[in-house]
Amino acid sequence: MPGEPAEIHFLIEPLGPNYGRAAFSCGSKELDSYLRTQAGQDLKKRAAVPFVITPDHRTIAGFYTLSQHAVDLGELPEDVAKKLPRYPLVSATLLGRLAVSLQFRSQGLGEKLLMDALYRALQSSKQIASAVVVVDAKDEQAAAFYRKYGFIEFRRIQRRSFLPMATIVQLFPE
Protein backbone atom coordinates (compact mmCIF):
# COMPACT_ATOMS: atom_id res chain seq x y z
CA MET A 1 0.00 0.00 0.00
CA PRO A 2 1.44 3.41 -0.91
CA GLY A 3 2.43 5.42 2.17
CA GLU A 4 2.92 2.36 4.43
CA PRO A 5 6.48 1.73 5.61
CA ALA A 6 8.12 -1.29 3.98
CA GLU A 7 8.31 -4.32 6.28
CA ILE A 8 11.82 -5.02 7.54
CA HIS A 9 13.05 -8.59 7.14
CA PHE A 10 15.43 -9.82 9.79
CA LEU A 11 17.92 -12.61 9.37
CA ILE A 12 19.72 -14.59 12.05
CA GLU A 13 23.29 -15.63 11.31
CA PRO A 14 26.60 -16.27 13.08
CA LEU A 15 28.51 -13.15 14.19
CA GLY A 16 31.08 -12.14 11.56
CA PRO A 17 33.64 -9.33 11.00
CA ASN A 18 31.13 -7.31 8.92
CA TYR A 19 29.14 -6.38 12.05
CA GLY A 20 29.44 -3.04 13.87
CA ARG A 21 29.61 -4.24 17.46
CA ALA A 22 30.41 -0.85 19.02
CA ALA A 23 27.01 0.60 18.08
CA PHE A 24 25.07 -2.09 19.97
CA SER A 25 23.27 -0.86 23.08
CA CYS A 26 20.72 -2.96 24.97
CA GLY A 27 20.64 -1.08 28.28
CA SER A 28 22.91 -3.58 30.03
CA LYS A 29 26.58 -2.52 30.22
CA GLU A 30 27.64 -6.08 30.86
CA LEU A 31 25.90 -7.42 27.73
CA ASP A 32 27.04 -4.50 25.52
CA SER A 33 30.59 -4.94 26.69
CA TYR A 34 30.41 -8.71 26.18
CA LEU A 35 29.46 -8.19 22.53
CA ARG A 36 32.17 -5.58 21.98
CA THR A 37 35.09 -7.25 23.66
CA GLN A 38 34.41 -10.90 24.39
CA ALA A 39 32.05 -12.41 21.81
CA GLY A 40 34.71 -12.54 19.06
CA GLN A 41 37.19 -14.19 21.44
CA ASP A 42 34.60 -16.73 22.56
CA LEU A 43 33.94 -17.60 18.93
CA LYS A 44 37.65 -17.86 18.11
CA LYS A 45 38.42 -19.98 21.15
CA ARG A 46 35.31 -22.12 20.70
CA ALA A 47 33.89 -21.19 24.09
CA ALA A 48 30.55 -20.06 22.62
CA VAL A 49 29.00 -19.32 19.23
CA PRO A 50 27.37 -15.86 19.01
CA PHE A 51 24.46 -15.41 16.59
CA VAL A 52 23.08 -12.03 15.58
CA ILE A 53 19.73 -10.86 14.22
CA THR A 54 20.10 -8.23 11.55
CA PRO A 55 18.09 -6.26 8.99
CA ASP A 56 21.10 -5.59 6.72
CA HIS A 57 24.15 -7.81 7.46
CA ARG A 58 25.81 -4.89 9.27
CA THR A 59 23.55 -3.75 12.11
CA ILE A 60 23.23 -5.95 15.18
CA ALA A 61 19.60 -5.71 16.32
CA GLY A 62 20.12 -8.47 18.87
CA PHE A 63 22.29 -11.46 19.67
CA TYR A 64 22.55 -14.69 21.62
CA THR A 65 25.24 -17.24 22.37
CA LEU A 66 25.17 -21.03 22.54
CA SER A 67 27.62 -23.48 24.05
CA GLN A 68 27.72 -27.00 25.44
CA HIS A 69 27.15 -27.39 29.11
CA ALA A 70 26.33 -29.90 31.85
CA VAL A 71 24.15 -29.58 34.94
CA ASP A 72 24.02 -31.51 38.19
CA LEU A 73 21.12 -33.93 38.15
CA GLY A 74 20.45 -32.94 41.78
CA GLU A 75 19.82 -29.32 40.79
CA LEU A 76 16.81 -30.24 38.64
CA PRO A 77 13.34 -30.56 40.16
CA GLU A 78 12.54 -34.14 41.17
CA ASP A 79 9.77 -34.64 38.56
CA VAL A 80 12.18 -33.70 35.75
CA ALA A 81 15.18 -35.57 37.21
CA LYS A 82 13.29 -38.84 37.53
CA LYS A 83 12.64 -38.91 33.78
CA LEU A 84 16.39 -38.72 33.07
CA PRO A 85 19.05 -41.43 33.45
CA ARG A 86 20.77 -41.43 36.85
CA TYR A 87 24.07 -39.97 35.60
CA PRO A 88 25.44 -37.31 37.97
CA LEU A 89 25.78 -34.80 35.13
CA VAL A 90 23.06 -34.07 32.60
CA SER A 91 24.18 -32.92 29.14
CA ALA A 92 22.85 -29.45 28.37
CA THR A 93 22.99 -26.50 25.97
CA LEU A 94 23.74 -23.12 27.51
CA LEU A 95 21.97 -20.08 26.08
CA GLY A 96 24.59 -17.91 27.72
CA ARG A 97 23.44 -14.46 26.68
CA LEU A 98 20.51 -12.99 24.79
CA ALA A 99 19.79 -9.31 24.22
CA VAL A 100 17.91 -7.00 21.86
CA SER A 101 19.14 -3.48 21.11
CA LEU A 102 17.01 -0.69 22.66
CA GLN A 103 16.37 0.59 19.15
CA PHE A 104 14.66 -2.67 18.14
CA ARG A 105 12.81 -3.55 21.35
CA SER A 106 9.22 -4.82 21.56
CA GLN A 107 9.02 -5.89 17.92
CA GLY A 108 9.19 -9.60 18.58
CA LEU A 109 12.95 -9.95 18.04
CA GLY A 110 13.58 -11.32 21.55
CA GLU A 111 11.11 -14.12 20.84
CA LYS A 112 12.61 -14.72 17.37
CA LEU A 113 16.09 -15.03 18.89
CA LEU A 114 14.89 -17.35 21.65
CA MET A 115 13.01 -19.62 19.20
CA ASP A 116 16.01 -19.71 16.87
CA ALA A 117 18.31 -20.66 19.76
CA LEU A 118 15.93 -23.42 20.90
CA TYR A 119 15.64 -24.74 17.35
CA ARG A 120 19.42 -24.82 16.90
CA ALA A 121 19.81 -26.52 20.29
CA LEU A 122 17.27 -29.14 19.25
CA GLN A 123 18.92 -29.77 15.88
CA SER A 124 22.34 -29.98 17.46
CA SER A 125 21.09 -32.41 20.15
CA LYS A 126 20.37 -34.94 17.41
CA GLN A 127 24.14 -35.21 16.87
CA ILE A 128 25.48 -34.40 20.33
CA ALA A 129 22.98 -35.19 23.07
CA SER A 130 21.53 -32.43 25.20
CA ALA A 131 18.62 -32.99 27.59
CA VAL A 132 17.92 -29.38 28.60
CA VAL A 133 18.54 -25.78 27.49
CA VAL A 134 19.85 -23.67 30.37
CA VAL A 135 19.65 -19.87 30.72
CA ASP A 136 21.06 -17.46 33.27
CA ALA A 137 18.82 -14.40 33.65
CA LYS A 138 20.76 -11.29 34.62
CA ASP A 139 17.89 -9.84 36.66
CA GLU A 140 14.24 -10.39 37.60
CA GLN A 141 12.97 -8.82 34.35
CA ALA A 142 15.03 -11.19 32.26
CA ALA A 143 13.87 -14.12 34.43
CA ALA A 144 10.25 -13.07 33.74
CA PHE A 145 10.95 -13.11 29.98
CA TYR A 146 12.15 -16.73 30.15
CA ARG A 147 9.30 -17.78 32.49
CA LYS A 148 6.86 -16.58 29.85
CA TYR A 149 8.25 -19.28 27.55
CA GLY A 150 7.98 -22.07 30.14
CA PHE A 151 11.51 -22.06 31.57
CA ILE A 152 11.65 -23.75 35.00
CA GLU A 153 13.88 -22.48 37.80
CA PHE A 154 16.70 -24.56 39.23
CA ARG A 155 16.23 -25.71 42.80
CA ARG A 156 19.11 -23.84 44.37
CA ILE A 157 20.67 -21.54 41.76
CA GLN A 158 19.05 -18.14 41.67
CA ARG A 159 17.87 -16.90 38.25
CA ARG A 160 19.15 -20.01 36.48
CA SER A 161 16.41 -21.87 34.64
CA PHE A 162 15.99 -24.55 32.02
CA LEU A 163 13.63 -25.96 29.40
CA PRO A 164 13.65 -29.75 28.83
CA MET A 165 14.48 -30.80 25.27
CA ALA A 166 11.32 -32.94 25.46
CA THR A 167 9.33 -29.66 25.67
CA ILE A 168 11.36 -28.00 22.91
CA VAL A 169 10.65 -30.91 20.52
CA GLN A 170 6.95 -30.09 20.83
CA LEU A 171 7.56 -26.49 19.74
CA PHE A 172 8.90 -27.67 16.38
CA PRO A 173 6.71 -30.50 15.06
CA GLU A 174 8.23 -32.18 11.99
Ligand X SMILES: CC(C)(COP(=O)(O)OP(=O)(O)OC[C@H]1O[C@@H](n2cnc3c(N)ncnc32)[C@H](O)[C@@H]1OP(=O)(O)O)[C@@H](O)C(=O)NCCC(=O)NCCS
- Sites of contact with ligand X (CB under 6 A): 26-28, 31, 98-100, 105-111, 137-138, 141-142, 144-145, 148
Residues 14, 28 contacting (CB under 8 angstroms):
no
Number of residue whose CB is nearest ligand X: 110
Nearer to ligand X, 141 or 170 (CB): 141
Residues β-bridged to residue 70:
91
Report the run of H or E that residue 96 belongs to, with start and end.
strand 89-100
**Residues 159 and 152: beta-carbon distance below 8 Å:** no
Residue 33 to residue 162: CA distance in whole angstroms:
25
Distance of CA 51 to the CA centre of its chain: 9
Query: CB of 53: closest distance to ligand X in angstroms?
Result: 9
Q: Residue 127 Cβ, how far from ligand X at the closest point, in Å?
A: 26
- How far apart are CB 78 and ligand X at their closest, in Å? 27
Name the minimum Å distance from CB 33 to ligand X. Answer: 13
8 A C-beta contact, residue 50 and residue 42: yes
Measured CA to CA, the distance from residue 168 to residue 72 in angstroms comes to 20
Least Å distance, CB 97 to ligand X, is 6
d(Cα 4, Cα 42) in Å, to the nearest integer? 41
> Of the two residues 20 and 85, which places its CB atom closer to ligand X in the complex?
20
3-state secondary structure of 148: helix
Which residue, 129 or 157, has its beta carbon nearer to ligand X?
157
Q: Which is nearer to ligand X, 105 or 152 (CB)?
A: 105
Of 75 and 105, nearer to ligand X (C-beta) is: 105
